[in-house]
A and B are shown apart, each in its own frame.
Chain A
Amino acid sequence: MATNVIENGARANVLSSNTLPRWASAACIAGSAAASGLIFALAGWNTPLFAILAALLYLAAWTILNAAVRGGRHGSNAFWATLVWVAFFLALVPLVSIIWTVVSNGVRGLTTFGFLGSDMTGITGVQDQAAAAGQAGVLGGIQHALVGSLLITLVATLISVPIGLLTSIWLVEYSRGSWLARLITFLVDVMTGIPSIVAGLFAAGVLMTYFNLIGGGYSGGKQVMGFTAAIALSVLMIPVVVRSTEEMLRVVPNELREASYALGVRKWRTILRVVIPTAISGIASGVTLAIARVAGETAPILLTAGMATSTNWNVFKGWMMTLPVYIYQQLMRPTAPSAPDPSTQRAWGAALVLILIVMGLNLIARAIAAAFAPKTSGR
């Protein structure tokens, strides 16, 4: 979108200043790499240090070259552009490393027969020891955790997205900086600081009190269910939704609202038809972030939803398992302590599945955003 226009920014001044040939940048990169390579070939090879030195050399050379040929402004432009590129590659290194770790370790688990279609019922250390010794395949799967994760996250989303979205609409469109708005903003900030384990304790406590009340002082552990976990996750999710949505609504230009009002459109319709569609891409991204934030939670789930080994489809009754708890449990407390490999394989497989799920959600959110976003073809 925006990139198309400004891509030519650097070239906009072609007529009014000295220029560098197109190959100058490439030559500069090659030169820096060669110089750095030469130094490390003499001083003993070290790939990360080589890359760092090459980048620094390029940064210096390209900045000086631009400043000398095209003037100081272009020198600083080249400097910052290079920094942005370098930062991007710098960020890419660990992120790619992590993705690679998950994918390369996870594929074996994921492609094991029955991984998605079975749970851990009946899987004990005996099966895993046999699998580690090569006498059998790795049994057991993540069906229970997958079902639990999807249902709990879905319920949490259904609770927190409407609340979060409506609150941020009130904050941005209606509150006009009143004391109540400041108070709510303040409270949302406070909520971002709730440690996740406390959210779990809180949800368990509230639901336990409720069941104690209706059960005559004896809840009997009825509050251990997926819904309790969803409440705990909502407490964590709401502030993220509010904060990101609020920011996205705020950057919607006032001209759009005013144009709508000028046409006689009611405020609530303006919000629903003009403001939200304009900000929908950002909202979708924020909601995805919020889901991603809670989809990986471990501690609050343990305290609220128990730790099931078999599949449970009922959010309102019985223990549930989720993918992060499963990953954590399999990684930290392998089913067979003496043969942890099958558990490790399952854990990475589950991590890969979790990422694929959030990827899917992200795609859906983006599709929705694209469908609702204002048509920009005319601009």
Chain B
Amino acid sequence: MSMKKLATPLALFTASALALTGCASNNPTSGAPAASGAAGALSGSISGAGASSQEQAMTAWSTGFKAVQSGVTVQYNSVGSGSGRKNFLAGQVAFAGSDAALKTDEYEASKALCGPQGAFSIPAYVSPIAIAYNLKDVKGLKLDADTAAKIFKGTITTWNDPAIAALNAGVTLPATKITVVHRSDDSGTTENFTDYLAQAASTVWTDAKAQKWPIAGQESAQGTSGVVKLITATDGAVGYADESAVGALGTAQVKVGDAYVGPSAAGAAKAVELSKPVGGQAANDLAVKLDRKPTDSSAYPIVLVSYHIFCNTYKDAATANMVKAFGKYVVSDAGQKAAAAAAKNAPLSAKLSADAAAAIDKITAAS
């Protein structure tokens, strides 16, 4: 019938189109030493799902891991932290990437899948969040938490407001209107940024931390790249975005202790190291409660920490071994450097890296 006849040329077209693409892949297996094929004893594939914040780092990790364990394929679907944790708890993926550690009820739920020890979270991806602004002639704007909160709340409306000028002696600030740009999608970046404002400027910023931006009536855009594009296109705009993506935009220095600190990888790693463990879950859980008001001015407090969530006990040994090897590679010096080179995020500090490796070593298989 006619549809069968329709299908034939359709298939032909498909085939010819595919033939066009059939030439050999010419990509480098980047980071892989020449000894490919020989490395590693494991083989198989593991899947992860979760936060899109660590997607670029994950690309670097799965590529780099090929050099360590050439037989293992790691794939990652950046469906978002919430969906990632849900998929993980439903046993759909071997690990989750998440901008937030497991919540208490999720930890309880994980015991069904991961044995009596449940699941645990490991900080794997640290990224400083910059306050980025578009003012042509102003470099290295200085802000304290209260002023930043007022700007983002919309109570300071022009750049030459006395409150900003007081912190930036000697800088000529324009009378441009401030356009605040936030993320229109729910995101871990927003949660960490509002957490900073809520903790460090608690008198001004009375909203609790949230994935959804709490202030109505401001400009917004989807995703980090959307925010950066919008700030870049709008004179006088200010917003928050991962420091790696802000490009040529100015980034504000925030007041830490008595000094002003700009976003940097080292500062971010320091802030995570200074933070306290959350505790209350699995013994090897390394989730941290970030300290947004450090007094040590080598720390930069607006930081996003994205976790990897693993099971303590996997059903089969093959998965357990692969997950263990991959998890340890990620937190290792090599893994963190590979991610930093690709995604320009902040590598974990040596101490945290060692703790994480020890925690991951506790993974076992049920059979």
Contact = CB atoms under 8 A, between A and B. Distances in A.
A284 to B, nearest CB: 8
A118 B26 contact: yes
A125 B75 contact: no
Nearest to A221: B92
Interface in B17-36: 17-18, 20-32
A235 interface: no
Given A221-B92, A307-B75, A124 B344 contact: no
Residue picked from A118, A280, A332, A338, most chain B C-beta under 10 Å: A338
B41 interface: no
Given A122-B63, A125-B60, A333 B78 contact: yes
Contact of A127 (B3, B30, B242): B30
Interface string A121-148: 1111111010000000001110100110
B253 to A, nearest CB: 20
B223 A272 contact: no
A279 B274 CA distance: 72
Contacts of A332: 222-223, 225-226
A336 interface: yes
A126 B245 contact: no
Given A122-B28, A224-B47, A308-B75, A158 B7 contact: yes
Interface stretch (B51-59, B149-157, B201-209): B51-59
A158 B25 CA distance: 30
Interface in B33-82: 47, 52, 55-56, 59-60, 62-63, 66, 73, 75-79
B130 to A, nearest CB: 12
A120 B75 CA distance: 12
Interface stretch (B8-16, B304-312, B349-357): B8-16
B342 interface: yes
Contacts of B28: 122, 127, 139
Interface in B301-358: 315, 338, 341-344
Contact of A154 (B10, B25, B27, B245): B10
B10 A124 contact: no
Contacts of B224: 333, 337
Interface stretch (A85-93, A179-187, A258-266, A361-369): A361-369
Given A125-B344, A154-B10, A309 B18 contact: no
Interface in B213-235: 222-226
Given A118-B26, A125-B342, A161-B3, A333 B225 contact: yes
B78 to A, nearest CB: 7
A116 B245 contact: no
A122 B18 CA distance: 22
A334 to B, nearest CB: 6
B93 interface: yes
Contacts of A310: 73
Contacts, number: 181
A302 interface: yes
Contacts of B13: 360-361, 364
A117 B22 CA distance: 6
A56 B291 CA distance: 65
B25 A117 contact: yes
A378 interface: no
Contacts of A66: none
A270 to B, nearest CB: 14
A221 B47 contact: yes
Nearest to B61: A124
A228 B239 CA distance: 39
Given A319-B47, A333-B56, A334-B225, A123 B30 contact: yes
B2 interface: yes
B341 A361 contact: no
A335 interface: yes
Interface string A278-314: 0010001001000000000000001100111111000
B220 to A, nearest CB: 14
A311 B73 CA distance: 13
A197 to B, nearest CB: 11
Given A147-B21, A331-B225, A368-B6, A124 B79 contact: no
A250 to B, nearest CB: 18
Nearest to A368: B6
Contact of A124 (B6, B14, B17, B342): B342
A107 interface: no
A360 B32 CA distance: 39
Contacts of A31: none
A319 B77 contact: yes
B79 A302 contact: yes
A154 B11 CA distance: 8
B244 A337 contact: yes
B5 A116 contact: no
Contacts of A253: none
Contacts of A368: 2, 5-6, 9
A192 interface: no
B56 A337 contact: yes
Contacts of B226: 332
A124 B18 contact: no
Contacts of B25: 114, 117-119, 121, 143, 311
Nearest to B12: A364
25 contacts: A114-B27, A116-B21, A117-B21, A117-B23, A122-B30, A122-B32, A122-B63, A123-B59, A125-B59, A125-B341, A125-B342, A140-B27, A146-B18, A150-B18, A154-B10, A165-B3, A224-B47, A272-B2, A306-B77, A307-B77, A331-B225, A335-B56, A336-B344, A337-B56, A337-B245
Given A122-B63, A124-B31, A319-B77, 13 more contacts: A116-B23, A117-B23, A120-B27, A120-B59, A154-B10, A208-B92, A224-B92, A303-B83, A307-B78, A309-B59, A329-B78, A332-B225, A337-B244
Instruction: For the complex of A and B, list the 5 residue pairs with the smallest distance between their C-beta atoms, beginning with the closest.
Output: A125-B342, A117-B23, A124-B342, A221-B92, A337-B245
Interface of A: 113-114, 116-127, 129, 139-141, 143, 146-147, 150-151, 154, 157-158, 161-162, 165, 208, 218-221, 224, 272, 276-277, 280, 284, 287, 302-303, 306-311, 319, 329, 331-338, 340, 357, 360-361, 364-365, 367-368, 372
